[in-house]
Amino acid sequence: MKINQNSLDIFCAEKINKLEEASGFRTLKTTHRASGAQSQQAGKSLISFSCNDYLGLSHHPVILEKAHEAAKLYGAGAAASRLITGNYPLLESLEKKLAKLKNTQACLVFGSGFLANIGLIPALVGADDVILVDELAHACLNSGARLSGAKTIRFKHNDCEDLENHLKMQRSSFSKCLILTDTVFSMDGDLAPLPSFRDIANRYDSWLITDDAHGIGVLGAGRGGGFAFNPPVEADVQMGTLSKALGSYGGYVCGSQKLIDLLVNRARSFVYSTGLPPMSTAAALAALEIIEQDPTLVDKPLAHARRFCERVGLSIPQSPIVPVIFGGNETVMKISEKLAQEGFLVSAIRPPTVPENTARLRIAFNAAHEAEHIDRLADLVRDARKEYGSI
Ligand SMILES: *Cc1c(COP(=O)(O)O)cnc(C)c1O
């Protein structure tokens, strides 16, 4: 017993040392998030530019009230997987609303976006199949791909030519083919060239799956990244999360009724995991109602990102996520600390979340930011770029 404990700790310590040597060791910081963009860390009040709560809905009074009501009616938890007794009434309303928003026949809500992807992908492909995934796609698309056992090829970020070259060489050797991409890239804020991907998927008999975690609620009048294009791009499967602009928790997959029927039976993270809490479902439902009713709220995060980029001298942003890449881990940590001293919470993002030597500030704009704060942060970031040289 004791020997095992020691060898385990020695193993962990070695791994940790390596991370520390590369300034890549991470620790948790307790954060008290209040309404607006106010956050407190270590007793210090900060204005957060690091939350994905783009519309401030996680603290919206109407949403909190609905969540509270749902807990009283249906309990704090779902108490079983949805195929057993965890399929309480609100879920159907939420799924109908999401399907309508995404213009699909049906929708299935999962415990989280991560769970949705690791259930979805292995339900569709296996060892005889091939997956093409953007090299900067979210970690959980890659985890889903790995779990499926399909051959997985990472194509160059947003590069249609590279994607098509891989398909030319590989497609005929495999049975089914998935193309996986984020609609909005979570650490870069750029959009995938979805119309071209749609066209390539059609020509190579492949299914296009889009992860709209950072699109729903903020792009395409709140309908998501696919709706930022004219005409909108219809992926074969549109997945996303309830945990970002909707301010709640959970994930979803929208697509045909047949797809959803299959996932109910075959997505392991759906079948073998408890349904998401009633509070989260009620909150997401209320958030979607607010998004429908208040287009000016939906437009704010991107407008704030534009204001910031203009003032810093960065190119026009495609989403409310603006990366400022400095490269070195230590540099970006130092800048993040300096911004905290000035009252701004802007997290430093380091490898492995982003590729080596591309450590960055990831600045996420939300509806509650005030012009004065945006401008002050822009001036500080402009100074940091002058001092340290950003990429
Ligand atoms: C956050 C995120 C997820 C995971 O969603 P959760 O609901 O937080 O598990 C999936 N994909 C992308 C692109 C994300 O940014």
The model's pTM: 0.95
Tracing tokens 């603290």 back to the chain, one arrives at: 59
- Residue 236: inside a domain: yes
The answer to whether residues 132 and 267 belong to one domain is yes
Per-residue pLDDT of the chain (391 residues; tens, 9 = 90+): 555 669 999 999 999 999 999 888 889 999 999 988 999 998 999 999 999 999 999 999 999 999 999 999 999 999 999 999 999 999 999 999 999 999 999 999 999 999 999 999 999 999 999 999 999 999 999 999 999 999 999 999 999 999 999 999 999 999 999 999 999 999 999 999 999 999 999 999 999 999 999 999 999 999 999 999 999 999 999 999 999 999 999 999 999 999 999 999 999 999 999 999 999 999 999 999 999 999 999 999 999 999 999 999 999 999 999 999 999 999 999 999 999 999 999 999 999 899 999 999 999 999 999 999 999 999 999 999 999 987 7
Q: Which long-range contacts (CB under 8 A, 24 or more apart) does 224-232 make?
A: 224/101, 224/102, 224/183, 225/183, 225/184, 225/191, 225/192, 225/194, 225/319, 226/102, 226/183, 226/194, 228/183, 228/191, 228/318, 229/194, 229/195, 232/103
Residue 183: which CATH number? 3.40.640.10
Rounded to whole angstroms, the Cα distance separating 66 from 43 reads 30
118 close to ligand 1 (CB < 6 Angstrom): no
Within a domain: residue 21? no
Tokens 């001036």 belong to residue: 379
By residue range, what is the domain housing residue 172?
78-276
CA distance 253 to 328: 37
| Residue 4 domain-assigned (yes or no) | no
Nearest CA to ligand 1 atom 3: 113
pLDDT at 113: 98
Q: What is the whole-number distance in angstroms between the Cα of residue 121 and the centre of ligand 1?
A: 15
Residue 243 lies in a domain: yes
Domain count, the chain: 2
Residue where a domain stops, chosen among 241, 276, 311: 276
Domain boundary among 222, 249, 276: 276
Pocket test for ligand 1, best of 114, 187, 219 (most atoms within 8 A of CB): 114
Pairing of strands 348-349, 359-364: antiparallel
On whether both 256 and 302 belong to a single domain, the answer is no
Same domain, 38 and 186: no
138: left (phi over 0), alpha (psi -120 to 50) or beta: beta
Residue 206 lies in a domain: yes
Which stretches within 109-215 are classed as H helix?
A: 113-124, 139-148, 160-170, 194-203
Residue having the nearest C-alpha atom to atom 10 of ligand 1: 113
| pLDDT for the residue 390 | 75
> Which residue's CA lies nearest to atom 1 of ligand 1?
213
CB atoms within 10 A of CB 126: 12
Looking up residue 307, the CATH number of its domain turns out to be: 3.90.1150.10
Within this chain, do residues 191 and 262 fall inside the same structural domain, yes or no? yes
Tokens coding 252: 């979803």
Q: Domain boundary at 223, 243, 276, which?
A: 276
CA–centroid distance, 71 to ligand 1, in Å, is 25
What confidence score (pLDDT) does residue 138 get? 97
What is the whole-number distance in angstroms between the Cα of residue 1 and the centre of ligand 1? Answer: 38
- Listed residue (239, 238, 255, 285) closest to 110, CA to CA: 239
| Residue 117 and residue 234 in one domain | yes
140 within ligand 1 shell (Cβ under 6 A)? yes
Neighbours of 128 (CB within 10 A): 12
**Structure tokens given for 14:** 């070695």
- Rounded to the nearest whole angstrom, what is the distance from the C-alpha of residue 210 to the centroid of ligand 1? 12
Residue 321: its H or E element: strand 321-327
- Alpha helices (runs of H) in 155-267, residue ranges in sequence order: 160-170, 194-203, 257-266
Same domain, 140 and 254: yes
Amino acid 4: pLDDT:
61
- Pocket of ligand 1 contains residue 362 by CB under 6 Å: no
**pLDDT score at 3:** 58
Cβ(212) – ligand 1 distance below 6 Å: no
Q: Quote the CA–CA distance of 101 and 221 in Å, as a whole number.
A: 10
Predicted pLDDT of residue 139: 96
The answer to the question of residue 68 being in a domain is no
- The token pair at 332 is 């970006």
Q: Specify whether 237 is located in the same domain as 336.
A: no
Helix axes 160-170, 194-203, angle to 10 degrees: 10
Minimum CA distance residue for ligand 1 atom 5: 113
For residues 286 and 93, give the distance between their C-alpha atoms in angstroms, rounded to a whole number. Answer: 11
222, 291 Cβ separation under 8 angstroms: yes
Quick check: CB of 210 below 6 Å from ligand 1?
A: no
Residues 48 and 82 in one domain: no
Return the pLDDT at 2: 57
Closest CA to 32 of 22, 43, 18: 43
Domain assignment of residue 137, yes or no: yes
Distance 221 CA to ligand 1 centre (A): 20
Q: Is 182 in the pocket of ligand 1 (CB under 6 A)?
A: yes
What are the tokens at 125? Answer: 């492909």
Q: How many residues does the chain have?
A: 391
What interhelical angle do 113-124 and 139-148 show, nearest 10?
30
Going by alpha carbons, the residue nearest to atom 14 of ligand 1 is 213
φ, ψ for residue 237, nearest 5 deg: -135, 130
Beta-sheet pairing, 177-182 with 237-241: unpaired
Establish whether residue 245 lines the binding site of ligand 1, counting it when its CB lies within 6 angstroms of any ligand atom: no
Three-state secondary structure call for residue 312 = helix
Q: Which atom in ligand 1 lies closest to the alpha carbon of residue 182?
A: 13
**Do 178 and 224 lie in a common domain?**
yes
The letter for the amino acid at 268 is: R
Whether 163 is in a domain gets the answer yes
- List the beta bridge partners of residue 345: 48
Same domain as 92, residue 41 = no
Pair 307, 259 in one domain: no
What per-residue confidence (pLDDT) applies to 36?
Answer: 85
Same domain? 135 vs 231 = yes
For ligand 1, the distance from its centroid to the CA atom of residue 3, given in whole angstroms, is: 39
Q: Calculate how far, in angstroms, residue 114's C-alpha sits from the geometric centre of ligand 1.
A: 6
The rounded Å distance from CA 151 to ligand 1 centre is 23
Residue 23, pLDDT score? 80
